[in-house]
Amino acid sequence: MMLEILKKMFEVTPERSTIVLKEKCSACECEVQINITPTSGGYGLNGGALFESSTDEYSAICAACYKANQKNNRKKV
Ligand SMILES: [Zn+2]
């Protein structure tokens, strides 16, 4: 579950309030920087989105592809 992956990230770096991930967008292959901050209801992602991947723990997607993806497919990533 994505939430558990994020939880793990914060467990290994508990001193950080924001985790910055630099990933490659799995859709358009651009560089995507995602800022993750804990919120009261879970985690807030800025700059892009993460989704579970069958090959890795997660894949990243940039904000533009995320938006396009939402239009085509209402499934939340
Ligand atoms: Zn992209």
Decide if pLDDT at 70 tops 70: yes
Give the full edge-to-edge strand order of the sheet including 42-46: 19-24, 31-39, 42-46
The domain locations on the chain are: 2-72
How is residue 7 written in tokens?
Answer: 């939880």
pLDDT at 26: 93
Question: Confidence band (pLDDT; 50, 70, 90) for 2?
Answer: confident
pLDDT at 64: 95
Per-residue pLDDT reduced to its tens digit, 12-62: 988 889 999 999 999 999 999 999 999 988 899 999 999 888 876 889 999
Positive/negative CA dihedral, 18, 39, 6, 28 = negative
pLDDT at 16: 84
3-state secondary structure of 70: helix
Q: CB within 5 A of ion ligand 1: which residues?
A: 25, 27-28, 62, 65
Å from CA of 15 to ligand 1 middle? 30
pLDDT at 37: 94
